[in-house]
Amino acid sequence: MASIPAPLPPSTANWHWKNKTVTPWAKQWFERELSEVRVTGEGTEAVAVERVVEVDGDVELGQRKSKLITIYDCRVVLNWTGTASDGTAVSGKLTIPEVSHEITLDGTSDYVYEWSLSTDRSPAVDALFQLAKKHLPPALEAKFSSFPAAIVDTHGKDLTVSTDPSRQGTPAPTASAAKSTTVQNDAALKKKAEGAGAAKSGGQAVNTTSLTVEAQFMAPADDLFSLLTDEKRIPQWTRAPATSKPEQGAEYSLFGGGVKGKFVSVSPPKEFVQTWALASPTWPEGHSATLTTTLDQGSDSTKVTWSLNGVPLGSEEEITRNLQGYYVHGLKSIGLGTVL
């Protein structure tokens, strides 16, 4: 029977790539908080959010190198109502196509508001409509600005180990959920290793396996190839420094040194192969996997496939979520119309 390993110290445990999906909680937060928004004008004029009718998108809290980061991109649709100066009841719909970390915290662009009016127009109704357009957005944006802190305050304790969260700056997007530690007996380990390979790390054999992650992107293959290999463009989706020269034998570093390796082969715009090593206490020292990235362009989208060979047994779930969080959601965060 294998012995239970000693718990990792907080400084080490909090280094791991982790994430937590909080989308259901986020929808409830938007429904509750935005429904409290109300603005008034002169006299009896008033406008309020009646209810949130749709929140579509993904919301996650991630941790990388002891920092908590918010990763979200949502489309919010709400109904608004108001009372005009002549007493007319007015109603309409408001769509905010993007409520995201990039807009709220990074200020990469402005919020977009798409308005509709359901009530028959009149001078009083039009005046209230203008009041809504002028004063509802600032009130909504005040709520949006409190959303990242609410995520961290509510869910940060689930990712950190005896440490205070950091909300400053913008680390690499989406962190990944680390696989919980389990104690397996020798028979279970043997069964899990069937069909898996073995590599050597520091003179010791490392039992390994392979995994694949793929996603469709609304972008041409040559543009995606450049985004994935050009060090000047990589920070657009990783939000972190990168070193990368797509040439055979050239070294690369992504996510501020979180992933490192060398280019094995480069065949633009269809494929490139790299050695791949994770800077984490859970990754065997001196061990490298092989990551093959293929791009298959179709008529209206490009399928990108990441095939990682040499993944240490027991870390498959963690590494899969790392690839999904850092690569797939990273590219999604810059508006490539990812289909997951």
For residue 220, name the pLDDT band (cuts at 50, 70, 90). very high
- The residue assigned the tokens 């919010």 is 76
DSSP 3-state assignment of 147?
Answer: helix
- Nearest to 256, CA basis, from 225, 278, 226, 289: 278
User: Which residue has better confidence, 110 or 334?
Assistant: 110
Cα distance between residue 175 and residue 318, in whole Å: 10
Q: How many other CB atoms are found less than 10 A from the CB of residue 328?
A: 21
Overall residue count recorded for the chain in this entry: 340
By the 10 Å C-beta count (0-12 exposed, 13-18 middle, 19+ buried), 6 is classed as exposed
Percentage of the chain exceeding pLDDT 70: 79
Four-CA torsion 328, 330, 336, 340, nearest 10 degrees: 30
Cβ–Cβ < 8 Å for 57, 74: yes
The pLDDT of residue 190 = 36
Residue 14, pLDDT score: 41
Confidence bin at 305 (pLDDT 50/70/90): very high
* DSSP code, position 339: B
Minimum mean pLDDT among 14-18, 37-41, 128-132, 301-305: which range? 14-18
pLDDT of residue 301 exceeding 50? yes
Q: How far apart are CA 59 and CA 57, in angstroms?
A: 7
pLDDT for 288: 95
Model pLDDT for residues 88-104, shown as the tens digit of each residue: 999 999 999 999 988 88
* Residue from 232, 213, 234 nearest 303 by CA: 213
Q: Can you tell me the distance from the alpha carbon of 5 to that of 309, in angstroms, rounded to the nearest whole number?
A: 27
Predicted local distance difference test score (pLDDT) of residue 8: 42
Residue 244 clears pLDDT 90, i.e. is over it: yes
Reported confidence tier of residue 329, pLDDT bands at 50, 70, 90: confident
**Range scoring the smallest mean pLDDT among 25-29, 178-182, 274-278:** 178-182
pLDDT for the residue 186: 38
- Residue 85 buriedness (CB in 10 A; 0-12 / 13-18 / 19+): middle
- Report the pLDDT averaged over residues 60-75: 81
Query: What pLDDT digit, counting tens, does each position of 128-169 carry?
Result: 999 999 999 999 998 898 898 889 889 888 876 444 433 333
pLDDT band, residue 201 (cuts 50/70/90):
low
**Per-residue confidence at 76, pLDDT binned at 50, 70, 90?**
very high
pLDDT band at residue 198 using 50, 70 and 90 as cut-offs: low
Query: Where does residue 239 fall: left (phi above 0), alpha (psi -120 to 50 degrees), or beta otherwise?
Result: left
Over 50: is that where the pLDDT of 34 sits?
A: yes
**Taking the model in full, what pTM does it have?**
0.49
Q: How confident is the model at residue 233 (pLDDT cuts 50, 70, 90)?
A: very high
Q: What is the b/e burial string over 9-39, where b = at least 16 CB atoms within 10 angstroms of the residue's CB?
A: eeeebbbbbbbbebeebbbebbbebbeebeb
Tell me: pLDDT of 46 over 80.
yes
Arithmetic mean of pLDDT, 8-26? 65
More confident residue, 187 or 159: 159
Residue 2 pLDDT > 50: no
Average pLDDT taken over every residue of the chain: 81
Put the strands of the sheet holding 243-244 in their side by side order.
197-201, 204-217, 302-312, 289-297, 271-278, 259-267, 251-254, 243-244
Using 50, 70 and 90 to split pLDDT, how confident is the model at 333? confident
Residue 59: Cβ within 10 Å count: 26
Compute the distance between CA of residue 177 and CA of residue 321 in angstroms, rounded to an integer. 7
CA nearest to 88, candidates 133, 137, 122, 53: 122
Q: Sorting pLDDT into bands at 50, 70 and 90, what band is 174? A: very low
